[in-house]
Structures are given as C-alpha cells and as structure tokens.
Amino acid sequence: MAKRVKIPVNRLQRFSDRYSKRKINIRNKRKYYLIVCEGTKTEPNYFEALKDDLPKGV
C-alpha cells in the first residue's frame, strides 16, 4: 500500500488560489483564416473537402 503524505494547509491554499483565479476562455475566436499554397492540382481538392466539412454559412 502506498504511503500517504500529509500536505501542509498553507500549500493547499496557495495552489487552490492560483487555479481559482485563472481566467478561462478569454481568447477571441478567429474570424478568418489565411491559407497560402503553391500547388495547382491538389489544393483545389483540399479546399473542396474543407468546404464540404464546414457547416453551412461559414
């Protein structure tokens, strides 16, 4: 059986404060994507497949 280690209360409070103050989902969503490519044969296939996978209206 594993040995239990007692963690001091001040450490528990310090770690809980750090994570409770952390902001969640503060980044803005991207409104556009820039896709740069050189090919002329395969890239249209990639874009058609991407267009089919995206929801309508995007």
Per-residue pLDDT tens listing for the chain (58 residues): 678 888 787 777 766 655 666 667 778 877 787 877 888 888 888 888 888 888 877 6
CA dihedral defined by 47, 49, 50, 52, rounded to 10 degrees? 120
- Residues 53, 55, 56, CA angle at the centre, nearest 5°? 120
12 DSSP 8-state letter: H
SS3 category, 17: helix
Q: What pLDDT score does 21 carry?
A: 65
Q: What pLDDT score does 37 carry?
A: 80
